[in-house]
């Protein structure tokens, strides 16, 4: 079973505005409302990929009720911890004329350490050695930068395979607990090791530094330039496809979903990267925060070219 953790979920409102202009009145052409947050996005994609997951997280207020009802309606299992504060709302602005995507994200409610301990126990009681646990996204106010590190260490006795997709200090601290797989972006690797990544050689060297810390796999998305997967013994690169990009929202989450399923289904590395790249590519071809369609993903899988880099 795959378990996703969204400590700071959101109701995502995607506004489509042609020629969005700061400082002026803008007319909304269309509005889409979704249950959001990175872990929830992962669960939604897993559902589309014919897999199953259980979503954990903190929710509260009317926004929290909406998220719960949304996931129940689409039959995604969930076991949220209710808090006495409203879940945040995020605004996504898609400018169809200028092809830009603007995020306006609330910081979210304050969550106590006591609440964190409660949700950690929920997770520990649910996972086992056959589980994949996805920790992704921001954390709410009140929790520290070691939050993901603490959760990874807390569940280590269950030998669960943990995927970490986080930014900043959450990532830097999290890799110290040796998660199974991490999905940083280029910027996070530069920040972590205080380097400038200008080519694949430097990128791969940075990934290997993460591997040396006890992480088994590092996957880095490079946007239109594809993605790279690094393990102790292998380096694979998926070439990017030229497609009509409608929205980049959730592309990384789609990749994480495919990677989680690949681990659960024991796919070999080549197919896992091809599957993840195809899922992420299909996602950017959809509008707003919509999940890519299974049929489109299957069509793209055979188009993804995998290259082994020998170093």
Q: Half-sphere exposure of residue 239, counting CA atoms within 13 Å on the CB side? A: 9
Residue 275 DSSP SS3: helix
Contact 148, 135 (CB under 8 A): yes
Q: Across-strand partners of 57?
A: 6
**Which sign does the torsion angle of CA 222, 165, 90, 294 carry?**
positive
Q: What is the largest CA-CA distance in the chain?
A: 55
Q: How far, in Å, CA of 96 to CA of 25, rounded? A: 16
CB atoms inside a 10 Å sphere around CB 61: 16
Contact 19, 155 (CB under 8 A): no
Catalytic residue status for 253? yes
Q: Half-sphere exposure of residue 127, counting CA atoms within 13 Å on the CB side? A: 29
Residue 179 DSSP SS3: coil
CB neighbour burial string for 64-96, b if at least 16 within 10 angstroms, e if fewer: bebbbebbeeeebebebbebebbbbbbebbbbe
Size of the chain, expressed as the number of residues it contains: 311
Q: Exactly one of 115, 150, 165, 253 is catalytic; which is it?
A: 253
Residues involved in catalysis: 253
């Amino acid at each position: 079973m795959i378990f996703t953790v969204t400590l700071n979920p959101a109701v995502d409102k995607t506004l489509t505005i042609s020629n969005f202009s700061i400082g002026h009145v803008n007319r909304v052409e269309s509005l889409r409302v979704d249950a959001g947050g990175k872990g929830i996005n992962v669960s939604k994609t897993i559902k589309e990929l014919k897999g199953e997951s259980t979503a954990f997280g903190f929710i509260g207020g009317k926004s929290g009720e909406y998220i719960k009802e949304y996931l129940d309606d689409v039959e995604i299992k969930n076991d949220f911890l209710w808090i006495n504060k409203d879940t945040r709302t995020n605004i996504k602005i898609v400018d169809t004329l200028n092809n830009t995507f603007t995020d306006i994200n609330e910081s979210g409610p304050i969550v106590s350490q006591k609440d964190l301990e409660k949700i950690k126990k929920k997770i520990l009681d649910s996972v086992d050695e056959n589980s994949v646990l996805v920790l992704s996204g921001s954390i709410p106010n009140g929790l520290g930068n070691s939050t993901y590190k603490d959760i990874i260490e807390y569940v280590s006795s269950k030998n669960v395979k943990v995927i970490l997709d986080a930014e900043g200090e959450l990532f830097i601290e999290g890799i110290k607990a040796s998660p199974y797989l991490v999905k940083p972006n280029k910027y996070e690797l530069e920040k972590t090791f205080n380097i400038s990544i200008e080519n694949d050689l430097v990128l791969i060297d940075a990934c290997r530094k993460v591997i040396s810390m006890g992480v088994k796999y590092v996957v880095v998305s490079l946007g239109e330039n594809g993605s790279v997967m690094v393990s102790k013994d292998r380096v694979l690169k998926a070439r990017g496809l030229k497609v009509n990009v409608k929205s980049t929202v959730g592309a990384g989450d789609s990749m994480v979903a495919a990677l989680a399923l690949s681990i659960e289904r024991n796919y070999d590395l080549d197919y896992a990267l091809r599957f993840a790249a195809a899922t992420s590519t299909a996602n950017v071809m959809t509008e707003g925060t919509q999940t890519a369609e299974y049929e489109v993903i299957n069509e793209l899988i055979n188009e993804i070219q995998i290259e082994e880099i020998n170093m």
